[in-house]
Amino acid sequence: MAERVVNEKNGQCDNLRKSLPVPMFSRNDFNIWSVLKNCIGKELSKITMPVVFNEPLSFLQRMTEYMEYAKLLRVASEQATPLERLKYVSAFAVSALASNWERLGKPFNPLLGETYELIRPEFRIICEQVSHHPPISAFHAESENFRFHGSIHPKLKFWGKSVEIQPKGIVTVEFPKLNEAYSWSNVNCCVHNVIVGKLWIEQYGMMEVVSHQHGMKATLNFKPSGWNNKDLHRVEGHITDRNKRKTHFLYGKWTEFIKCTDYASYEEYVKENAHKFKRNADDRSKSPNESPGNTPRKVLSKLNSLKMSSFKSLSIQEPDDPPEPSEGDIPKSDSTYSIDIPNSVTLWEAESRPANTAEYYQFTNFAMSLNQLEDHMKQPRALCPTDSRLRPDIRKLEQGDLDGAAAEKTRLEEKQRENRKKNKKSQDELTLFPRWFKQDVNPHTKQDDWMYKGGYWERNDDNLELDIF
C-alpha cells in the first residue's frame, strides 16, 4: 500500500481525467412530480428515485469531496498560533461545501459495507457505509500533518417546492503533533424549485467550529438568500476567544471565497456601510425550506395534471406564496451588497470549474476523477472488492447506459435485501460489516461517533467473501 502513495506522489495525479466518458442525460422529459407528490413532509431516504436523477457517484465519493481543499488543513497545521490555525480550519469547513453549488443530481445510496478510498499527495481517505437503516457513512482521512474524521447521517425531506438535506453528524480535525482538535457540524442544504422553475441550491444555518484545547470558537452564519437575493451565498461570522470576546470577523461566499479581518476593522466598515448589513422589515431571514402548509393546494392540484419538466421555466404562483425568482430563474447576487473590508486576508478561494462542467453534472475537476479507475487500481486486488468504483450501476450511468444503470440499481438493492435476510437467519451472524469503523466515544466532543479501527491500508482480502455488488 505504501507503494501506491509513492506512485501518487510521483505523478499519478497528472493522469486524472478532466471529463466523464459521456455527457449527462437531459432530465427535461422526466416527471419528478409523479415520484414526489406523495412524499411531502416525509424523509426521502426510503423513496426510490429514477436513476436519471442520479449523478454517477456514490454518497461515499460525494463525501470525499470534503477533501478538495485539504491543503488548507496542511496550511493550518503550519501556523504559529491557535488563532491562525482556527482561521484556516474554518476556511476548510466552508470550502467543503463549495462543490455543492449547482450539483442537482442525487448521489447513489451506498450499500452496507461499501467502501471508497482515495489517495492524493495531500492525504489519503477511507470511507465506509457503516449502517443501512438509518443510513450512516463514516470516513477517516489522514496525512503527516492532520487527521480528519466523522460520520454523516443525511436526511432528506420534500416540502412541496423544495428538498431539504440535513447532513446530521459531527466532523473532527486533529493536529496530532500539536495535540489539538477542532470540530463542527455542517449546515443544511436546500434545493429550490424542484417542481416549478429552474433548480438552484443554497446552504443555510449556523456552523460553530470549536477549538477544544484553547476555548476559541468560530461562529459562521450561512445566510438564506432573502427576498431580494441580497444575502445569496453569503457567509458571515466571528471568532471569539476564551473569554467570549470577538477578535476577528470572517466573511465571504461559500461558493467563492472566505476572508478574515480584525474586529476593529469590521466595526469601522459597518459604520460606513450599514446598508450592506441591515435588513429591511420585509426582508426577514427565513428558512429556505417551506412546510407543506405553505404550498397552496391549487398549485398541488395543477401539478398533478401537469406534464412535468423539472428544468423548464413554468410559473404557477398564488398571492400568499413567498416570491420566487423571476420566471423561475436562478437568483443572482446583487453587487450593491458586496463586502470588501480593509485589512482583510483571503483564507480560501474556490478553483474554477472545467469549461464543460454543465455537460457533466456540474462536476468540479476534483469530482471528475472520483470514479476513475486509475492504472494502478486495475491490478489484481489493488482495490478493495467493496470499493464504489466497482459498482456496476454507477459505472453504467457514467457510460451513458441509463436502462442498464436502472436494472443494476434494482438488482443491487434486491441483493442487499437478500443478504440482510440471510444474516438474520444465521445463528452465528457474522458481523463482517462495518469492517473498518466501530461505534465509540469521540474523545474531543464526548459524543457517540463512528471511529476508524485501523488496518484498511494493510488489509488482505484474499480469503474474504466480500460480494456486495
Place of cell 411531502: 40
Mean pLDDT of the chain: 83
Asked if 108 contacts 54 with a C-beta cutoff of 8 angstroms, the reply is yes
Q: What is the pLDDT of residue 157?
A: 80
pLDDT in tens, 76-115: 999 999 999 999 999 999 999 999 999 988 899 999 999 9
Asked if 206 contacts 218 with a C-beta cutoff of 8 angstroms, the reply is no
Q: Cis link prior to 292 (omega < 30° from 0)? A: no
Residue 372's CB is within 10 A of a number of other CB atoms, namely 15
Q: How far is CA 299 from CA 33, 41, 82, 197, in A?
A: 12, 16, 53, 13
Asked if 282 contacts 230 with a C-beta cutoff of 8 angstroms, the reply is no
Query: How many alpha carbons fall within 13 Å on the CB side of residue 61?
Result: 25
What pTM, to 2 d.p., does this model score?
Answer: 0.86
CA distance 329 to 331: 6
pLDDT in tens, 425-455: 664 445 688 999 999 999 999 999 999 999 9
Q: What is the mean pLDDT of each run of 10 residues along the chain (469 residues)?
A: 39 77 82 61 64 94 97 98 98 96 92 97 97 94 98 84 86 97 94 80 94 96 83 94 97 96 96 79 47 44 40 30 48 74 97 95 97 91 94 97 95 90 61 90 95 95 84
Q: What is the pLDDT of residue 327?
A: 43
Name residue 87's amino acid.
K
Burial class from Cβ neighbours inside 10 Å (0-12, 13-18, 19+) for residue 87 reads buried
